[in-house]
Structure 1
């Protein structure tokens, strides 16, 4: 590769992949940004003259750092107040953090990967999402190549099994459903919300102890609709806007600023999971600024 003085240009090309692997592994924009900064500093100090694939090298370094954080994050999650949800990632045209967008950054997929062990998650993301060879993956995990291959295979089977229930609908269908949902929510239309919710729907709120939120998952379409109507009356929204989060259309609720960022999972044309991030620490500045300055109508 070229000399060190070209690293800046190369970095701008590969930074989305560095950030992308860290976000998929950690589910946190803030942590992914920290990892990207660490990787940049490591690259600036390293002798890269003999590196023949800079992208693979950078992604591998990011994965190794993320793996260390991921192992300790499991301990922190146990002390987290209430349900934990991934930090919303703005992926629309105004996103401040460009990322390689595919279904692996959706809330549903990140939660599936959350159920994997840290080694399985690393092996799956590196190989199946970023195409990193198992030799490099084995180095990250301090495992043998066959061991790394087995971890990825096991993770792939678990992900495939879970994805049977998470296949996203066409974009137009999501827009239609969320438009109707927003109208029903604003009007407090209980029957309308029940019609939009799957009988087995779940309602998950992440307040993290920083904002009022249900400490347990609420289950059942009618029960979820009742709670939504009650919450809608109690916490009157100034406005509800649309934004692209994790590659999918989502809702941003305003109440004297951003109140929540909500993603939905749709099955058979109905909302089977409604996930609401109320914790202000998980409201990225990019989303907050976008929601503050724009009113995006479908």
Structure 2
């Protein structure tokens, strides 16, 4: 009677291959949460697979934790260099949209930490704080493993996570996100007003102190600085809508939340996410950089 072992392959190879698809979403998930870009997250995921395939896993008792730790260590290296690249990025930087729900091409671990708003909050953390927060608060890793990734003592890893948690909580308190049903309602109403060029309707939906951020990355025409003020934003949106004339504005799930995808000339022109507080849009974020939309 067979034992499920494939002739010509080691039992480790069989075990890794069988379990890889189960753990791959966690490996990709930690990399995306730390880096905010799909290309880097995919590269890290591939690196982890190659590392695992060539490692002796016979003494590994928790394969998921081992894989996530390797992914975090590689992501941490990239994250530190990415901070320098962001300084030379043209215009505002926004996270690369992560398709979730029925639009996702593969299983994705979805929670609040993959939303654009949360990724931008984590962008304000130092690299060690971000790693400690994601590994402990999102993935539940023990501080001993986190300390290994960061090359610090366990108490220091604990302190980093605690400091990051306080900073995240403070940022969320200053700009609380409305419940899903309310966000979806505001999004649908906004879409109708935008399509009809209803300036007054857009002004009613935008908070007087709202902020509008566009990420073109120097690849496409986009505002190099954030635009502030509900009326000013509405005027810009109406003008841009008349100039660009999208073929369609559809709903799509990004980072676990509904977003708008603007299509033109047979391709995706932008993906827009909204932050809603008390029924009003407080932040409108538009990703225009074609390199960040190629996967859609």
TM-score > 0.5 by shorter chain: yes
- Aligned match of 1:173: 182
Q: Distance in 2 between matches of 1:94 and 1:225?
A: 29
The secondary structure found in structure 2 opposite 1:214 is coil
Deviation at 1:169, TM superposition (A): 2.4
- Aligned match of 1:255: 264
Deviation at 1:165, TM superposition (A): 3.5
Q: Under a length normalisation based on structure 2, what TM-score does the superposition of the two structures give?
A: 0.94
Asked whether the 8 Å contact 1:88–1:284 carries over to 2, the reply is no
- Aligned match of 1:283: 293
- After superposition, the C-alpha distances for 1:105-153 in whole angstroms (9 at most, x for unaligned) are 0000000000000000000000000000000000000000000000000
Asked whether the 8 Å contact 2:103–2:253 carries over to 1, the reply is no
Gap regions ≥5 residues in structure 1:
288-298
Q: Distance in 2 between matches of 1:164 and 1:218?
A: 22
Match of 2:279 among 255, 269, 274: 269
Q: Distance in 1 between matches of 2:167 and 2:180?
A: 26
Matched, 1:76 2:85: yes
Match of 2:196 among 187, 210, 231: 187
Deviation at 1:209, TM superposition (A): 0.6
The within-5 A match list for 1:58-97 is 58-97=67-106
Asked whether the 8 Å contact 2:147–2:157 carries over to 1, the reply is yes
Task: State the structure with more CA Rg.
Answer: 2
The secondary structure found in structure 2 opposite 1:65 is helix
Q: Under a length normalisation based on structure 1, what TM-score does the superposition of the two structures give?
A: 0.94
Deviation at 1:9, TM superposition (A): 1.3
Q: Distance in 2 between matches of 1:238 and 1:4?
A: 49
Asked whether the 8 Å contact 1:108–1:166 carries over to 2, the reply is no
- Aligned match of 2:128: 119
Deviation at 1:171, TM superposition (A): 2.4
Q: Distance in 1 between matches of 2:158 and 2:132?
A: 8
Q: Distance in 2 between matches of 1:12 and 1:166?
A: 37
Gap regions ≥5 residues in structure 2:
1-10
Matched, 1:22 2:34: no
Q: Distance in 2 between matches of 1:239 and 1:83?
A: 25
Structure 1 segments of 4+ aligned residues over 6 angstroms from their partners: none
RMSD: 1.0
